[in-house]
A = this chain, B = another copy of it.
Amino acid sequence: MTTARPLRVLLADDEHLIRGALAALLALEEDLVVVAEAASGPEALAMALAHRPDVAVLDLQMPGADGVKVATSLRAELPDCRTMIVTSHGRPGHLKRALAAGVRGFVPKTVSARRLAEIIRTVHAGNRYVDPELAADAISAGDSPLTAREAEVLELAADGAPVAEIAERASLSQGTVRNYLSSAASKIGAENRHTAVRLARERGWV
């Protein structure tokens, strides 16, 4: 059993420093081999199709397309490839999106390389792994109490646009927009739409 076929890994992260360092560390693991690296979402996708890795380790924030988008495409185009997300900022919403996209591993960058290698093996074996802390956050954040429209309007309000502009962009009357913003804010427990936007962001509801 010493000559098992090595586990082929794709590494995608826009930070060269991290990516290179990670590749070096994973190379120390005998059963892992990094077959491709990418610095952007589209590049990750292209690399995956070219090299057909067993596991794709994706950074959440990358130029072009974020980790979850890449995972979604990968699921369609390369179903045998397991995907996992590594991230610095673990927002509850991201985790939820990721799991919905078929991602099987979700870990913060605070883990050690050894641990990451273990998790890569876990994921490859067909199991899932979600960082317990992030999972707890996601659960405690709960599901969004917002209706689809409320969320949409809140999102349009995100950059501080006045009601008139939001109304126009959403093709709604100004009164309706105010109603939605008001009910969204009260559901969230914020005193005004701006704090509502911030809180919704933090909880991954927008």
Residues of B contacting A191 in the complex (Cβ-Cβ under 8 angstroms): 160, 162
Task: List chain B residues, Cβ under 8 A from A130.
Answer: none
Question: What CA separation (Å) do A158 and B15 show in the bound complex?
Answer: 29
B160 and A17 contact, CB distance less than 8 A: no
Cβ-defined contact, A110 with B15, below 8 A? yes
Interface membership of chain A positions 56-98, coded 1 if the CB is closer than 8 angstroms to chain B and 0 otherwise:
0000000000000000000000000000001010000000000
A161 contacts across to B, CB distance below 8 A: 195
Of residues 140 to 166 in A, which have CB atoms within 8 Å of B's CB atoms? 159-162
Q: Name the residue of chain B whose CB is nearest to the CB of A21.
A: B21
> In the complex, what distance in Å separates the CA atom of A167 from the CA atom of B19?
47
- Nearest B residue to A39 via CB reads B110
Which of B18, B25, B193 touches A109 (beta carbons < 8 Å)? B18
The residue that A111 contacts in the complex, of B17, B24, B195, B197, with Cβ under 8 A, is: B17
How far apart sit A194 and B16, CA to CA, in the bound complex (Å)?
A: 34
A194 and B113 contact, Cβ closer than 8 Å, known pairs A17-B86, A24-B21, A24-B25: no
* Docked-complex contact A109 and B16, CB < 8 angstroms: yes
Contacts of A21 in B (CB 8 A): 18, 21-22, 24-25, 113
Residues of B close to A16: CB separation below 8 A = 109-112
Q: Tell yes or no: A34 within 8 A of B by CB.
A: no
Contact residues in B for A112 (Cβ distance below 8 Å): 16-17, 20
Which A residues lie at the B interface, using CB under 8 A? 14-18, 20-22, 24-25, 86, 88, 108-113, 116, 159-162, 190-195, 197-198
* A-B contact list, 12 entries, CB within 8 Å: A14-B110, A16-B112, A18-B21, A18-B109, A20-B113, A21-B22, A21-B24, A24-B24, A159-B195, A159-B198, A160-B191, A162-B192
- 4 A-B pairs with the lowest CB-CB distances in the bound complex, closest first: A21-B21, A160-B194, A15-B109, A160-B195
